Amino acid sequence: MKETLDTVEAAELMRVSLGKMTELARTGEVPAVMLGTHYLFLRDELLEYLRTRAKEEQRLRREMADAARRMGDQAAEKRGRGRPRRRPPIDLRAYPDPAD
């Protein structure tokens, strides 16, 4: 398998547009070498970049889910059971029955 990729091949591998791939290389987001006016990418380094980014995003999603779960648990403890009432319920036994 070919070890080096041009910008078009790298964009296909990463499943991004050619413009996005060029921007990622220009900003240093992905490892690339500029040869003349073109970028050259190493396939293994792009795959490692994807692996690292996927693991980082997974970690962040787990942290956010855990924080949301903890906040939900704290809110439930504060409320007790169900939604708090603003005033006590009406005791209908205190009123006479009009049928009597």
Q: pLDDT by residue (tens digit) across 29-49?
A: 999 999 999 999 999 999 999
pLDDT for residue 76: 57
What phi and psi, each to the nearest 5 degrees, are found at residue 99?
A: -75, -15
pLDDT for residue 88: 74
pLDDT for residue 53: 94
pLDDT for residue 85: 60
Gap between the Cα atoms of 33 and 38, Å rounded:
8
Burial of 45 (0-12, 13-18, 19+ CB in 10 A): middle
CB 32 within 8 A of CB 40: yes
Q: Kindly list the averaged pLDDT for each block of 10 residues, start to end, along the chain of length 100.
A: 90 96 96 94 96 94 84 63 67 74
pLDDT for residue 68: 80
pTM above 0.85, yes or no: no
